[in-house]
Amino acid sequence: MSNIFDELQWRGLVAQTTDEATLREALDGTLTVYCGFDPTAPSLHFGNLVQLMQLRRLQRAGHRIICLVGGSTGLIGDPKPDSERVLRSKEQVAEAVASIQQQAAKFLDFDGDNPATMVNNLDWTADITALDFLRDVGRYFRVNSMIKKDAVAARLNSDAGISYTEFSYQILQGLDYLHLFRTYNCTLQVGGSDQWGNLIAGVDLVRLAEGAAVHVLTSPLLTDSSGRKYGKSEGNAIWLNPKMTSPYAFYQYFVNVEDSEVIKLLKVFSDLTPEEIADYEQQVESEPFKRAAQRALAGAATTLVHGAQATTAVQAASEALFGKGDLTALDAGTLSDSTAELPGADVAPGTGIVDALIAVGIADSRNSARRLIGDGAISVNNEKVTDPEQTLGEDDYLHGVVAVIKRGRKFQAAARRA
């Protein structure tokens, strides 16, 4: 694809632009591009990853990238359509800024001939007085336009209303674009389609304050199978911080993506070519049970976020739990992550396998437990159990913590060392 705009369109990363023809032509040259991330949580999530991929692709195409983490906008919070945000302390926001800067830096190149730039909007807003803000920035904004923004309009029509604090958010975000235009000649801002109103505020401010035309490019919001967007406010966030969503849980999420969603996500989160994507699309149609596209997506996304070593470890865990892999070869962290969501119970060493099956919920009686063992349906750590008098020994607890008991290949439970 000769133009990066064409690639972004093919990958499903274009929803709205201020002027498609002019932007497409501008992208044939070299632009300075920015995207902002507010530190309203200690970690970025899967929804933010779409914009990081947008920046990553634009940088690879030769454009100059600015990654902004909002130390000032994070103190205010983008208005939600249903309720006022709970303001976080300055210390909490500063800590989140540092964490998110570290996360975002992994996806961009800050060295070499075309290094990305990391900025914090608190650096240019902290010393602005209220009078200067109102006189020098606020005078360019019209309230009748501001109240038409979707989230603002929704709040104005609700019993809760909207505070002046959150109402002013779009002015602060517009100021970011003006500052970056003046300082770095930044002429393109990217973001999610739900941010269109805030992004346009910056376009209008640059036009009114500087008489210049700048661009906005939004990408569609990715939604889950129920139509909800991925994000912390929706309660279905897939976090990029491994302490909040483990690499194993992250990998399993993508392995379990529905057939109807997997090709769309492969285009966004992998570097596969159109020919390779077409091949996976054909496999989804002809052999969906193999889940080849889902495994490719899970591998690409997990490697992108957590690295190749973590991906190898979670793939081994997945094979050990759901295939014929070796559970004893898993490291302690991966074992803990991969068994954390399994049903189970505390079971002391020396407990008979029959009682253990009842304890973890695989059997509902001693007779049914013995029958399952006699049918060859029970295994401990992927080793078949043939003797109903067998007990769980110390060695059965992997890393001294847990024994994985299976009925067949699909039903698993964790006997955690009591």
| 212 phi/psi in degrees, rounded to 5 | -115, 150
Q: Give the mean model confidence (pLDDT) for residues 32-41.
A: 95
For the ranges 77-81, 91-95, 108-112, 238-242, which has the lowest average pLDDT? Answer: 77-81
Q: Give the mean model confidence (pLDDT) for residues 147-169.
A: 90
Q: Give the mean model confidence (pLDDT) for residues 317-343.
A: 91
The strand order across the sheet containing 344-347 reads: 344-347, 411-417, 402-407, 378-380, 383-384
- Non-local (6+) Cβ contacts of 226 within 8 A are none
For the ranges 220-224, 290-294, 403-407, which has the lowest average pLDDT? Answer: 220-224
| Per-residue confidence (pLDDT) for residue 199, from 0 to 100 | 95
Q: Are 141 and 208 in contact (CB under 8 A)?
A: no
| Per-residue confidence (pLDDT) for residue 236, from 0 to 100 | 64
DSSP letter at 40 equals S
- Name which of 363, 362, 403, 400 is nearest 380 in CA terms: 403
pLDDT at residue 159 greater than cutoff 90:
no
- pLDDT-derived band at 230, boundaries 50, 70, 90: low
Question: How far is residue 369's CA from residue 378's CA, in Å, rounded to a whole number?
Answer: 9
| Per-residue confidence (pLDDT) for residue 1, from 0 to 100 | 67
* Torsion sign, CA atoms 55, 58, 60, 62: negative
Reduced to 3 states, what is the DSSP secondary structure of residue 113? coil
For the ranges 35-49, 61-75, 220-234, 398-412, which has the lowest average pLDDT? Answer: 220-234
**Domains present along the chain, CATH in parentheses:** 4-222 (3.40.50.620), 247-339 (1.10.240.10), 344-417 (3.10.290.10)
Residue 214 vs residue 82, higher pLDDT: 214
| Per-residue confidence (pLDDT) for residue 81, from 0 to 100 | 85
Question: How far is residue 96's CA from residue 382's CA, in Å, rounded to a whole number?
Answer: 42
pTM: predicted TM-score of the whole model, two decimal places? 0.88
State pLDDT tens for residues 360-387.
999 999 999 999 999 999 999 999 999 9
- pLDDT-derived band at 232, boundaries 50, 70, 90: low
